[in-house]
Amino acid sequence: MNLEYSDEHKAFRDDVCRFLDEKLPEHLTDRGRRGRAPSKAEHEEWHAILHEQGWLAGNWPREFGGAGWDAVQRHIFETETTARGAPRIVPFGVAMLGPVLQKFGSKAQQDHYLPRILDGTDWWCQGYSEPGAGSDLASLRCEAVRDGDHYVVNGQKTWTTLGQYADHIFCLVRTSKEGKPQEGISFLLIDMATPGVEVRPIVLIDGSVEVNEVWFSDVRVPVENLVGEENKGWTYAKYLLTHERTNIAGVGFASAGLAALKRIARAEQDGGRPLAENPHFAARVARVEIDLMAMATTNLRVVSAAAGGQAPGAESSMLKIKGTVIRQEINALAKTAAGPYALPFQSEAVEGTNEEPVGPDYAARVTGQYLNNRKLSIYGGSNEVQRQIIAKTMLGL
């Protein structure tokens, strides 16, 4: 056993660090440090920088314009960039749709869409969930009915992350009501400028807008926008989910959060000493740091097995649960650390208004982040559903 990266991977990490030193603009990390979500323009700026380096799609093979990294390299890149507070790469085009098109899409779809994901021409969002179909995704009802060389789509999607920015949406739609519910689902690409598509924002508990409802009424979609075969969409969706679940542990986010938490704890005065020296507070921070250290290694064990060709199964569910719980505990501790300055309501939405933050700047978004990040254990398959997967696949229960 050897806990060190190989020489090649060490060299790669040095490359990544050098690149970040030179090319990651301070205004982007600054924003992350203050707990603010990046704007569309900021996402685009970061994507363009990465694209120029050839690093936007680490997971794609080189033939499609990706970096062709192995799992360890991807891990190194994600950990280093998130720990520095870089915006995350918006996953919908790069991490989700890209791999599906590469495996199941037609040549024409690959040639048209893949370059446009890389150069930022198209912004994609994910239309899976519906009001009645959350954890039980197969019960979805949004339907697509064949009419000549078009599908006519009617129904509603919800929780569409960053859909307000997107010009395209990949959807699971019902094309058949026969047989098992999974067997009548198709995977359809929809241009959101098509007449009959309507996007309505959903305001989240911290006042931010990152999810939307998307309504379809008699939306005509050309049949060439069907990915793979009709009624086989569930297979593609499951394939996509295995990709959605990369970087699921969020080690970089947790490290960045922990560093921010420690900064607050050193700055806050408590009974004439820094809060960091309060033994009860310090004990809770230590507990989460110990947990994070172990999880980082669990993550590496999974990454290393994946680099050796083993597809992660229930391990990614373990990482999802542990990773989200750790991040949520760090958020809760940051809110605790801010003390009475957790009280002022400082919405993400007032960002544009030039208002000075109330109290120390490190406190401005702790409450918002705590509330907003309750989502981590809900979306992408809730932690309860992940536990079911673990019990089923690892124990056969």
Partner 1 sequence: MNFEWTDEQRMLQDGLRRYLSDAYDATGRKAAREADRGFSAETWAGLAEMGVVGALFSEDQGGFGGSGFDLALVFEEMGRAGAVDPLIDTGVLGGGLLATFEPDTLEGVIAGETHLALAHAEPGARYELARVAATAERDEGGWRLSGRKAVVANAAAADRFLVTARTGGAGADPDGISLFAVERGALDFRPYPVVGGGTAAELSLDGTPATLLGPEGGAYPALAAVHARATLAVCAEALGMMEAVRDLTGDYLRTRKQFGQPIGKFQVLQHRMADVLIEIEQARSAVINLAGNVDGDARDLHVAAAKNLVGHVARLVVEEAIQMHGGIGVTEEYDLGHYARRLSMVDHRFGDTIHHLERFIALTRDAAPLEGAAR
Ligand X SMILES: Cc1cc2nc3c(=O)[nH]c(=O)nc-3n(C[C@H](O)[C@H](O)[C@H](O)COP(=O)(O)OP(=O)(O)OC[C@H]3O[C@@H](n4cnc5c(N)ncnc54)[C@H](O)[C@@H]3O)c2cc1C
Q: Which is nearer to partner 1, 38 or 207 (CB)?
A: 207
Stretch that binds partner 1, among 31-39, 72-80, 88-96, 329-337 (CB under 8 A): 329-337
From 243, 219, 396, select the one nearest 306 (Cα to Cα): 243
Cα–Cα distances (Å) from 374 to 47, 230, 331, 348, 370, in that order, read: 27, 36, 10, 16, 7
From 197, 89, 186, 203, select the one nearest 146 (Cα to Cα): 186
Query: CA geometry: angle at 155 spanning 154 and 157, to 5°?
Result: 135
Within 183-212, the residues that bind partner 1 by CB under 8 A are 202-205, 207, 211
Strands 273-274 and 209-222 turn out to be unpaired
CB distance 173 to 227 below 8 Å: no
From 318, 327, 322, select the one nearest 389 (Cα to Cα): 318
Q: Which is nearer to partner 1, 59 or 129 (CB)?
A: 129
Helix (H, G, I), strand (E, B) or coil at 355: coil
Cβ contacts of residue 377 below 8 Å, gap of 6+?
Answer: 321, 324, 325, 328, 383
Q: Of residues 159, 216, 236, 253, which one binds partner 1 by CB under 8 A?
A: 159
Q: Which of partner 1, ligand X, none interacts with 370 (beta carbon under 5 to 8 A by kind)?
A: partner 1
Stretch that binds partner 1, among 73-81, 83-91, 248-256, 267-275 (CB under 8 A): 267-275
Residue numbers at the binding site for ligand X (CB under 6 A): 126-129, 134-135, 159-161, 211, 375, 378-380, 382, 384-385, 388
Q: Which of partner 1, ligand X, none interacts with 119 (beta carbon under 5 to 8 A by kind)?
A: none
Q: Does the protein bind partner 1 through residue 278 (CB under 8 A)?
A: yes
CB distance 328 to 374 below 8 Å: yes
Q: Which is nearer to ligand X, 109 or 160 (CB)?
A: 160
Active site (catalytic) residues: 244
Q: Does the protein bind partner 1 through residue 164 (CB under 8 A)?
A: no
Q: Does the protein bind partner 1 through residue 177 (CB under 8 A)?
A: no
Question: Which tokens is 8 given?
Answer: 């090649």
Q: Does the protein bind partner 1 through residue 253 (CB under 8 A)?
A: no
Q: Does the protein bind partner 1 through residue 152 (CB under 8 A)?
A: no
Give the other-Cβ count within 10 Å of 64's Cβ.
18
Binding mask 333-372 for partner 1 (x = CB under 8 A): --xx-xxxxxxxx------------xxx------x--xxx
- Burial, 105: exposed, middle or buried (Cβ in 10 Å; 0-12, 13-18, 19+)? buried
Please tell me the distance from the alpha carbon of residue 99 to that of residue 114, in angstroms, as a whole number. 10
Residue 139 CB, nearest approach to partner 1 (Å):
8
Enclosing H/E stretch for 333: helix 314-338
Q: Does the protein bind partner 1 through residue 383 (CB under 8 A)?
A: yes
Q: Which is nearer to ligand X, 127 or 184 (CB)?
A: 127
Q: Which is nearer to ligand X, 87 or 127 (CB)?
A: 127
Residue 265 CB, nearest approach to partner 1 (Å):
11
Q: Which residues in this chain contact partner 1 in the complex, by CB under 8 A? A: 129, 132, 134-136, 139, 158-159, 202-205, 207, 211, 268-272, 275, 278, 280-281, 284, 328, 332, 335-336, 338-345, 358-360, 367, 370-372, 374-375, 377-379, 382-384, 387
